[in-house]
Structure 1
Amino acid sequence: MAFNNTWRTLALVTSALCAMPAVATAQSAPQSEPEASNVDDIIVTARRREERLQDVPLAVTAVSTESLERANITTVSGLRTQAPSLVITPGVGANKNTPTFAIRGQSQQELTILADPSVSLYIGDIVAPRSQGANGGLFDLASVQVLKGPQGTLFGRNSTGGIVQLIPNAPTGTFGGSVGVTVGNFGTLNSELALNLPLTDTLWARLAIVNNTDDGYLYDVNLGRNVNFTDNQGLRFSLRWLPSDTITNTLVVDAFHADEGGSGGYIRDVNPAGSFNSAPARASRNYPTLESMLADQQARGNRRTASGTPTFSKVDTLTIANTTVFELSDSVSIKNILGYRDVSSHNYEDTDGLPIPLLEIERQFEQEQWSNEFQIFGQTGALNWIAGAYYFTEEGLDSGTSITGAVDPGLIQPSSVFAYPSWADTRVAAENTSYAVFAQGTYAFAGVEGLSLTAGIRQNWDERSVVVQNRTNAACRFTTDGDNNPATPETNPGLAGCFLPLSADYSEPTWNVSLDYKFGDGKLAYIAHRHGYRTGGFGARAATEAGLQRTFQPETVDDVEVGVKADWRFGNGAFLRTNLAVFYADYQDIQRLLTDPTTIPITTVTVNAQQASIKGGEFEFLFRPVQSFELSGFWSYTDAEFDEFIAPGNIDLSSSPFARAPKNVYSLSARYTPTIPANLGSELSFGASWFHTDSYVDNDTFNVTAISPEYELLNLNMDWRNVYGTDASLGFYINNALDEEYDFGLLNIYTSLGFNSRTPGDPRTYGVRLKYEF
C-alpha cells in the first residue's frame, strides 16, 4: 500500500508541475529556412558503439521519440506500427503486460521461465528475457532500435529473430527538462516529468516520472464496467559521474508498477465437438451450448463481452544498470556493464471469453537476474575491434494455475481460480545461467577506399536447473509411470513428494561476417552471414515424469542478408533516403509450442521442428522534395515455411503455416510543415500515416480458426511547438481514425475444449498533449 501511495504522490506532483505558468520564456530569433537535404544523422548502437545508422551493415530501424510522442505510443505493443518485420501481440493466454515479439517470422509462444524468446528485449544494455512488465521502459527515451535477424556475436544467445532495444535519455551537463500531460477519450490521462540536473561539474542527474491511466474500452455487461483499463507508473533515475577525463560511470535505476485490468476477451469460434459441449457435460455444469453463447457474443460485437470475470494484471519491475567506461589511451577503452532486474507479476485472465468458467488462468511469476558484461574495444591501425566476456544468471518461480470446466457460478465469476474446488497448477522453480566470450573486428582495406570486412565470433555456455512441482488442489499432476498409465498409490508421488529436479547444459558457437562497401556520398552496400542460437529447455506441462524429463533442443539459424543503404541529394535541394535489405534464413530444430488435445487440463509441449526456412526483405524510405513536406514509409515481406516438421507421434506437420508471420506489412506517412510567422511559434506540422498488415496465423498449433485477419489503421496528428513564442507545445492525435475493428488471438484450443477467443485491438482514440520545456 505504501508503494502504491508513493506512485500516486509522484503522479500528483507531475500533474501539478504541468500546470505551472511559463516564466522567463526565451524569445528565439527567426531562423533561415534550411534546405530539404539537411537531415539529422541517426545514431545507433547496433554494434555496441555509436555509429551512424547509414554506416551499419545490418538491417536496423530507429524509432525517434518524436514519432512515439506524436502517435501517443505508451506501450511496447504500439511499436508494431513503427518498424518493418516487427509483430507484437498479447502473450497467448497471458495479458497486455506480457507481449510476444516476432521479427522476420521468428517468435516464441512459450512464456514460462523454462524457455527463452527468439526476440530479445533490452532496456539500455540490460536484457529483459521475461516479457512481464515490458511496457515499463517506454518513456523518456533517446530512441527505440529494432535489429533484425540473428544477433549472435555482440548481443548473445536467444536473439535468433532480432532484438528490440529501448535507449533511455542520458544525463547531460545542462539544466533543463519538461513536463507534459495528455488528455483523451476513454478517460485517458497521462502525465510525464523529465528533469536534467547537473549537481556539479562532474556529477549529473536525470529524473523521469510517468503516469498512464485510462478507463479501457472492452465493456463487460455482467460486471457493468470496462475490464481492460490502464493504471501504471514508471520512474527512471540516472546519475552520471565523471571523476576524471578518462573515467565515466553511469547509474540507471528503472522502476515500473501496474495495477490494471487484464486483456479481456470474447469468443469468436466454437467447435460443436468440444469437450464440454455434450449434453451430459453441460447438464452437470449448468452450461448452455457453445453455439448459443457464440450467437449472444456476435450480437454484442467485439468491444463488449459477458465474461463476468474480474480479470487483472499486476506487475512490479526494478532494473538497475551501472556502466563504467575507462579510456586507457586514445585508441583503447574498457567498459563494464553490471545489471540487475527484479520482476513480480500476478495476472488473471478469462481465456475463453465466455460467461462460464471453461478455462480460467491465474499466473504468478517472480524473477531475479544478475548480469555482467566486460568489454575492451579500440582501434589498431585499420582494425576497429571489440572483445569481451558475459555472465548472466536468473532465478524464478513460475506458477500458472488454471480451472477447466468448473460448475457455472452465475453472472459474476470469482476473482481467483483458487476459489474453485479443483484447480491445477503448473509450477516450476528454475535457475538459468549463461556464460560467453566474444570478439569482433572491422578491417578497412587500405587498397580499396570504402571497403570493410567485419567478422565476429562468440562461444556460449548455458545451464538450466529446474524443480517441477505440478499439482492440483489434492494431488500431484505427474506420475512416475512413463507409459501414461493411470496414477496409482504406488506411482503417484503425492503432494509431499511432488517435486522433480531436472537439469540440462547447452553450448554453441555463434558468429557473423559481413563485407560492406561505401560508394559515393552516403551510400553503403553490404552482404552479411550470421549463425545464431537459442538455448533449449524443458516443457513444464507434461503429465508424466518421462514427459517432463524430455528436453527440447536448441535451435540454430544461418542467414544471408544483402542490403543497400543510400542517401540521394538532388540539385534542387531535395533529399531521398532508401534502405533495402533482403534475406534468407535456414533454421534447424526451430522451437514450436504444440497442444496435446488428449489431456484435461490442456497440456502443451515445446518440440523441435526439424528444419524451416524464412526469406523476405524490408524497404524503408524517406523523401523530402522540399523542406516543408516529407514522405516516409516501409514495407516488409516474409515468406516462412517448414521444410520438415515431424511432431511426436510421427505426425507430419510440415505443411503447417508459420505463426505470427504476416506476408506483407507496410506503412506510408506524410508530414507537412508550413512556414509560420515567428511570433506564432517555431514549428507547426500536420501528419498522417496509413498502416496495413496481412492476415496471419496466431498460434503454433494450427487449425482453421487460428487466423488474425488483416487490418488497416489511419492515424492523424498535429504538432505545434513553442506556441506564441513560449516554451509550451501542443499536440493533437487521432489513432485508428476510421475506427477499424480488429483483434488478436487470446487463446485457441478449438480442437479440444472447442473455442477460439480473441482480444480486441484499440478503437478510435484521440486526445491533446500539452508539454512545457524549460
Structure 2
Amino acid sequence: MHYQSKHKLGTLALLLGLSPAVSAQEADGSAQGGLEEIVVTAQKREENLQNVPLAVSAVTASTFDRYASSDIADLSGAVPNVFIGEPTPGGSSIISFAIRGIQYAENEKTIEPPIGVVIDGVFSGTAQGGLLQTFDLERVEVLRGPQGTLFGKNTTGGAINAIRTRPTGRFGARIAATYGTFDRRELRAVVNFPIFDGVLAGKGAFFYEHMDGIRNIAFPGRRDGDRRYWSASGTLLFTPTSSFEALLTYDHVKDRSQSTPVLNIYQAGPTTLPTDPPIVVQGETPCRIFGFCPPLDYEASRINGSGIAHNNLDAVTLNARLDLTDDIKLVSVTGWRKAQENIVTDFDASELLIFQTLRPNDSFEQFSQELRLEGTVGDRVNFVAGGFYYRGHYDSLISRIQDIGYIRGNPALIGVYSQFFPTSPITGMTNVDHVAKSYAAFAQVDIEFFDGLTLTLGGRYTHDRKKILYELLNPDGTVVGPAQGALVPQSVLTSESWSKFTPRLALRYQFTADTQAYVSFTRGYNAGGYSGRAPDVSTVGPYNPETVDSYEIGLKTELLDRSLRLNIAAFRNNYNDKQEEVSRATTVPPYFGTTITNASSARIQGIEIEATAVPTAGLTATASFGYLDAKYRNFIGNISGLGVTDNSSLKLRRAPQFTMTTSIDYNFVAAGGEINLGARYRLIDETELLVTNDPAGHVEAGGYLDASFGYEREVGDVTWGIKFYGRNLTDTIRKSNTTRIGGFINFITVNRGREVGAELSLKF
C-alpha cells in the first residue's frame, strides 16, 4: 500500500529517459498533429503561454475530466514543485498546499494564505473553498513564485488562477453522472441558453457529490468523513455593443459533509527532535501514562463523534470591460463572498471523549474591487495599471471540550471537564472578531526596445490594516481572569497596519518565433496579522509581514515543427521574516502555548522542467520534473515548548525535493465513434508536515497511478459518452496533515485509497 522511497531513483531515470518529456500544462494535439496554442491570463491580459516571462502551467478542463477529478487536488505532483494535501480536519473544502516550498495548511481565517486562490479574477481571502470544484472550469493556471505586482495580495508562494467557462450564447448542455468506489455519486450539468440574441446570454451550472468516508472500527457499521456537497451557479453575459461587456455570476454552495476524520498516532516512548541541541519530547499522555495505545489503521478511524463540516456559501462576481479606444480598455472586477460554517471535530482521534472543538457559527464575509486600465501604445508597449480594495470580516465563537485528567495525566481528574465549572462539559471558549482591509495601486509595462527584446517593469504599493477583538471566555460567557489562574483579564482589542512596495523586473528575448528566454526579479509580500487561535492575549500578535525575493531564469521553446514544447525554469527565493509557529510564555495556565511570529529566514531554490510532445495525430505524451532545495538560513526559537534551540538544520514543511509526472493520452476513431485512452503517474518525494520535523509528521515518498478508457459517439445532434476510470491504482495512502497538541496527542489525516468507477455523459 505504501510507496517506498527506494523506488525514487528508478522512477527518475524512467522519466528523464522519456523522449516526449514533460508538461503539466495540457495541450491536446490537433487532428493534423502538432500542439495547440494555450492562451493564459497570468499577466491580466490574454497571451500565448509561451510568451509569458514567468513560470506558469495551464491545466485544461479535459485533463480533470479524463481522470474523473472532481477538485483541483490532482494538481499535486502534476505541476512541478506543487504539493496539495487532502482537506484539513477543519472542513471538506479547506486544503493544505505549497508552491516552491512556501506552504499553507491553516483553517484559521485570521491567518491569510500566502498562495492566492483567484476565481474569475476575485481573490479568495481564506483557504475555505480553496479545494475548487472542476466541473465548470475552462482551465486552471498555476503561477509559481511570488506574484507581487498584478496578483499582489499575499502571494509570496504563487497563485492558482481559475477561469470558468463563459456563456456561449447558443442553446447547449453538458451533463455527466459518475458512480464509483466509496459509493461515489456525482451529477454535473452546465446549460447554455440565449436570452436576447447577440445581447444577453445565460448559463446555469449544477454539481452534486455524495461520497462515503472510511469505516470506524471502534463503532462497527459507522463511516466517518462522508461528503455531501452541492453547488449551483447562474451567469449572465451582457454585450450591448462590441465595446462593452459585463459578466455577472452568482454562486451558492451547500456543504453538509462530515469533518475529515483524524487518526491516532500515539507514541508511548520519547521522541528526539533534530534540533541543536536535540530536544526530547515525551510520549503522548494517554499512551504513556494510561496505556491507551490503539493500533493505527490508515483506512479506519476510531473517533466517537463523526463530526460535521457544514458550510453555506454565497458569492457574486461581476467582471466588466469597456473599450475606451481600439487599443485601451477599462476593466472592473467586483467580488463578494459570504460563508457560514458549523464545524465539530473530534481531535483526540479516539473513542474516548478527551478533546473536541465546536465552531457552531464561523462567519466570514469579504468584498473586493479591482479597477484597471490596460492596453497598448504603438506597436512596442503593453501596460496594465490599476487599484485594488479588499475588506474581510471574520467572527467566531470556538468551544472546547477537554478532559483535564487525560491532558494533565491525572487519573483523579478523568471525567472532570472543567475545573471551575464542574457541571459544564465545555472547558473554555475563544471569541474572535477580526477585520482586515487592504488597499493597493499597481502598474506593469512591457517595452519592446527592438525586435525580440522586451523589458518588463512593474510595481505594487500595498497598505494593510487589521483589527481584532480576542477573548478567552469561561463556559458561562464571562472573561477568563485571575479567578481562573490568569495573570491578566483575557480580553483585548487591538489593531495594526503595514505598507510595502513590491517591484518586478524582467527581460525577455525572443530568439525565434518559437523560442524565448527570460530573466526576472520579483518581490512577494504576505501581510502581517493576528492569530485567532493564540493561547492568550499576550500571544495574539501582531506579527509582521514576510517577504520573498525571487530570481528566475527560464527558457520556453517549441521544436520539431511544433510537435514538442519544452519549458525550463530555474529560481532562487530569499525568504525573509518568515512567519512560524513557536512556543511562548503566556498569562494563563499552563503558562506557555503556540503562536505565530517572524522567527526565521530561508533560501529556496530549484529547477522545473515541463514538456508536451505530439509525435503523431491523436497521441499526446507529457511529463514534468521539479527539483527543490529548501533550507533555513536562520531559525532560532522555541518550537516545542521545551526551550529555545537553533532549528536552522530542520527541513521546511511541505517542500518535497522531487515532484514528477508522466502521462500518455491517445485519441483515435473506431467503432463509429472516438476512443480515448489515458494513463498518468505522479510521484511526490518524502516531506515533512511539522515545523519540528517530528517523525510523526514525516511522509514517505509516494506514487499515484491513474488511468481511463473513454468512448464517445455522436447520434444526431447529441454526443454520448461512457468512461471508465481508475484513480490511485497503486493504492498509495500518505499522511496529508499532522498535528501535535502539546505532547498530549498526535493525530493525522490521510488521502483516500484506490478508486474505480464509470461515468456517463452527453453534450449538445
TM-score, length of structure 2 as denominator length? 0.87
Which whole-Å CA distance do the structure 2 matches of 1:306 and 1:439 have between them? 54
Tell me which residue corresponds to 1:605: 595
Which whole-Å CA distance do the structure 1 matches of 2:389 and 2:122 have between them? 12
Which whole-Å CA distance do the structure 2 matches of 1:616 and 1:270 have between them? 35
Partner-residue secondary structure (3-state), 1:666: strand
Q: How far off is 1:110 after superposition?
A: 4.3
Q: How far off is 1:488 after superposition?
A: 7.2
1:737 to 729, 733, 737: 729
Which structure's relative contact order is higher, taking Cα pairs within 8 Å and 6+ residues apart? Answer: 2
Root mean square deviation of aligned Cα: 2.9
Shift of the 544–341 alpha-carbon distance from structure 1 to 2, 3 Å rule, reads: closer
Instruction: Say if 1:742 and 1:761, in contact at 8 Å, map to a contact too.
Output: yes
Instruction: Say if 1:609 and 1:642, in contact at 8 Å, map to a contact too.
Output: no
Shift of the 637–489 alpha-carbon distance from structure 1 to 2, 3 Å rule, reads: closer
Which whole-Å CA distance do the structure 1 matches of 2:239 and 2:476 have between them? 60
Q: How far off is 1:641 after superposition?
A: 1.1
Tell me which residue corresponds to 1:329: 325
Q: How far off is 1:587 after superposition?
A: 1.1
Q: How far off is 1:130 after superposition?
A: 1.0
1:52 to 26, 48, 51: 48
Which whole-Å CA distance do the structure 2 matches of 1:219 and 1:343 have between them? 30
Shift of the 177–230 alpha-carbon distance from structure 1 to 2, 3 Å rule, reads: same
| 1:251 to 2:245 alignment | no
| 1:349-364 alignment, distance < 5 Å | 349-363=345-359, 364=361
Instruction: Say if 2:471 and 2:537, in contact at 8 Å, map to a contact too.
Output: no
Partner-residue secondary structure (3-state), 1:47: coil
Residues 645-685 of structure 1 deviation map (CA, whole Å, 9 limit, x = unaligned): 122665322222101111111111112223425xx21x211
Which whole-Å CA distance do the structure 2 matches of 1:89 and 1:135 have between them? 10
Instruction: Say if 1:477 and 1:543, in contact at 8 Å, map to a contact too.
Output: no
Residues 426-475 of structure 1 deviation map (CA, whole Å, 9 limit, x = unaligned): 321011000011111001123xx221111111100000011012223157
| 1:461 to 2:453 alignment | no
Tell me which residue corresponds to 1:29: none
Tell me which residue corresponds to 2:749: 759
Instruction: Say if 1:730 and 1:771, in contact at 8 Å, map to a contact too.
Output: yes
| 1:527 to 2:519 alignment | yes
Tell me which residue corresponds to 1:560: 551
Instruction: Say if 1:137 and 1:254, in contact at 8 Å, map to a contact too.
Output: no
Instruction: Say if 1:357 and 1:406, in contact at 8 Å, map to a contact too.
Output: no
| 1:720 to 2:711 alignment | yes
| 1:591-740 alignment, distance < 5 Å | 591-595=579-583, 603-647=593-637, 650-676=644-670, 680-681=672-673, 683-722=674-713, 727-740=719-732
1:450 aligned partner, one-letter code? G
Shift of the 251–488 alpha-carbon distance from structure 1 to 2, 3 Å rule, reads: closer
Which whole-Å CA distance do the structure 2 matches of 1:627 and 1:36 have between them? 4
Residues 464-510 of structure 1 deviation map (CA, whole Å, 9 limit, x = unaligned): 0110122231576765xxxxxx76799553xxxx5310100000001
Which whole-Å CA distance do the structure 1 matches of 2:232 and 2:559 have between them? 41
Instruction: Say if 2:110 and 2:394, in contact at 8 Å, map to a contact too.
Output: no
Shift of the 146–139 alpha-carbon distance from structure 1 to 2, 3 Å rule, reads: same
| 1:330-479 alignment, distance < 5 Å | 330-363=326-359, 364-381=361-378, 382-405=380-403, 421-446=425-450, 449-474=451-476
Shift of the 136–716 alpha-carbon distance from structure 1 to 2, 3 Å rule, reads: closer
Q: How far off is 1:619 after superposition?
A: 1.0
Shift of the 77–477 alpha-carbon distance from structure 1 to 2, 3 Å rule, reads: farther
Identity fraction in percent: 26
Instruction: Say if 1:221 and 1:305, in contact at 8 Å, map to a contact too.
Output: yes
Tell me which residue corresponds to 1:236: 233
Shift of the 545–476 alpha-carbon distance from structure 1 to 2, 3 Å rule, reads: farther
Partner-residue secondary structure (3-state), 2:214: coil
For structure 1, which segment, 737-746 or 169-178, has the greater mean C-alpha deviation from structure 2 after superposition?
737-746
1:430 aligned partner, one-letter code? H
2:566 aligned partner, one-letter code? T
Tell me which residue corresponds to 1:20: none
Which whole-Å CA distance do the structure 2 matches of 1:379 and 1:724 have between them? 46
Structure 1 residue runs of 5 or longer lacking an equivalent are: 1-31, 409-413, 480-485
Instruction: Say if 2:263 and 2:747, in contact at 8 Å, map to a contact too.
Output: yes
| 1:149 to 2:137 alignment | no
Residues 260-287 of structure 1 deviation map (CA, whole Å, 9 limit, x = unaligned): 111112112414469xx999x98xxxx6
Q: How far off is 1:76 after superposition?
A: 3.1
2:98 to 102, 105, 114: 102
Which whole-Å CA distance do the structure 1 matches of 2:486 and 2:341 have between them? 37
Tell me which residue corresponds to 2:568: 580
2:174 to 175, 178, 183: 178
Shift of the 489–531 alpha-carbon distance from structure 1 to 2, 3 Å rule, reads: closer
Partner-residue secondary structure (3-state), 1:612: strand
Which whole-Å CA distance do the structure 2 matches of 1:183 and 1:528 have between them? 47
Q: How far off is 1:67 after superposition?
A: 0.9
- Number of paired residues? 706
Which whole-Å CA distance do the structure 2 matches of 1:663 and 1:652 have between them? 23
Which whole-Å CA distance do the structure 2 matches of 1:351 and 1:601 have between them? 22
Shift of the 489–117 alpha-carbon distance from structure 1 to 2, 3 Å rule, reads: closer
Which whole-Å CA distance do the structure 1 matches of 2:505 and 2:615 have between them? 37
Tell me which residue corresponds to 1:19: none
Partner-residue secondary structure (3-state), 1:308: coil
1:245 aligned partner, one-letter code? S
Which whole-Å CA distance do the structure 2 matches of 1:293 and 1:35 have between them? 65
Q: How far off is 1:593 after superposition?
A: 2.0
Which whole-Å CA distance do the structure 1 matches of 2:480 and 2:84 have between them? 34
Which whole-Å CA distance do the structure 1 matches of 2:645 and 2:675 have between them? 60
Partner-residue secondary structure (3-state), 1:763: coil
Which whole-Å CA distance do the structure 2 matches of 1:264 and 1:492 have between them? 37
Shift of the 732–756 alpha-carbon distance from structure 1 to 2, 3 Å rule, reads: same
2:577 to 582, 589, 592: 589
Tell me which residue corresponds to 2:127: 131
